[in-house]
Amino acid sequence: MRVCFFAKVKERELIDRMEFYKQDVDILHDLGFDVVISTNWREIPTNVDFYFIWWWTWAFLPITKSAITRQPCLVTGIFDFRSPTGDDFFHRPLW
């Protein structure tokens, strides 16, 4: 099976350097998946069995391709619902 691992990062090398990305990629490989890493819209393939997406803030990109191809997707990453510092869900712009 083939999976698209998506994380919107500026430098592709961060996928290998950041442990939380690397662990997920390694787990997917260990489970026997052919992992295709993508970091922007153009790199997101349509010929995969599912999409593994980091960060809900950029999930709309691979979710769109997931919907077009009718393939399942899984979104992971933190979600600060309420934060005393004011950088939470309720203080985000509507964009």
pLDDT at 58: 87
CB 3 within 8 Å of CB 44: no
Look at the pTM and tell me if it is higher than 0.85.
Answer: no
pLDDT at 3: 98
Domain boundaries, the chain: 2-91
pLDDT at 81: 62
Q: How many CB atoms lie within 10 A of CB 23?
A: 10
Mean pLDDT, the chain cut into blocks of 10 residues (95 residues total): 96 92 97 97 96 91 96 84 66 67
2-91 CATH pick, 3.40.91, 3.40.50, 1.10.3090, 2.40.50? 3.40.50
Strands 50-54 and 34-38, by their bridges, are: unpaired
Element containing residue 78 per DSSP (H, E): none
Exposed/middle/buried for residue 36 (C-beta within 10 Å: 0-12, 13-18, 19+) = middle
pLDDT at 27: 98
